[in-house]
Amino acid sequence: MTSICALFLSLGCASAKPAPSSAAEATAKQTPAEAVAASTDAPAKAAVEAPAPAASAEPKPADEPRDGLRKASRPPLELLTGNNVVYVFNYGESPVGIAAKERCEGENSGDLGAARQCIAKQRSKVAVESVRFVKDGSGQYWWVTYNSYKGNLLKWHKIQFLPGKEGADSVKLSLTGKDKGIAPLARVPATLKIELPNDYSIIISDPEHGAMHYDAKIGLMQQDGE
């Protein structure tokens, strides 16, 4: 009797179904409808639980470069008068030079030589090669322009000035007294407005020729105190 009971007990234990041991086994036992419902709900849950992307920082206007170059690193007057700097006139980048090039090339279409001669003639009408802004030994400020004459670079205009209103990248100079250059102006302007978009160039508002662009050069001339 005992043997028969043991046999029945062992058969009963073998036929009993064990509980699922993992989530994978539980998923395998799902009906097709349950599996579809679970897969449909997964993206929605992921979208709810996913953190919102951080907002991108908008660039501030002050951080934007001007004309592809960094802004002036020092106050305008300090840049103008420091480091024995000379500003060389850039005729080709100034409106007066651009207008002359367009006119000369239009009038001499197909004749490059004639066009170049025309541009050179127009350039000679702007009597300036370079400019300097000098603080002399007695603390006086001078605006000096240079022009070539018979192979020599001469001080064409030499006018004293007082520093005026100064902005982040511009300054107004108050011109005083007479022109002491070799080709003095009959009427000295009251003010001279200068823009400094960066450390390498300036723009002077000329009453006759408009905006005149200059490129900064260091050490072209000796600092003579004017």
pLDDT in tens, 133-153: 999 889 999 999 999 988 899
CB 193 within 8 A of CB 168: no
**85 domain residue, yes or no:** yes
pLDDT at 19: 47
- List all residues 6 or more positions away from 93 whose beta carbon is below 8 Å from its beta carbon: 213
CB 126 within 8 A of CB 90: no
CB 198 within 8 A of CB 70: yes
**28 domain residue, yes or no:** no
Domain that holds residue 132: 76-90+128-218
pLDDT at 195: 95
Q: Is the pLDDT of residue 6 over 90?
A: no
pLDDT one-digit tens code per residue, 42-67:
444 444 454 544 444 444 444 444 44
**10 domain residue, yes or no:** no
Burial zone of 2 (CB within 10 Å; 0-12 exposed, 13-18 middle, 19+ buried): exposed
**175 domain residue, yes or no:** yes
**8 domain residue, yes or no:** no
Q: List phi, psi (to 5°) of 60.
A: -80, 150
**132 domain residue, yes or no:** yes
Please indicate whether residue 218 or residue 192 has the higher confidence score (pLDDT): 192
Q: CA-to-CA distance for 93 and 85, rounded, in angstroms?
A: 20
Average pLDDT in the 185-202 region? 93
Angle (nearest 5°) at CA 157 between 83 and 206: 85
Name the strand (E) or helix (H) holding 196.
strand 191-198
CB 160 within 8 A of CB 141: yes
**212 domain residue, yes or no:** yes
What pTM does this model have?
0.66
**53 domain residue, yes or no:** no
Check residue 189 and report its DSSP letter: -
Domain count, the chain: 1
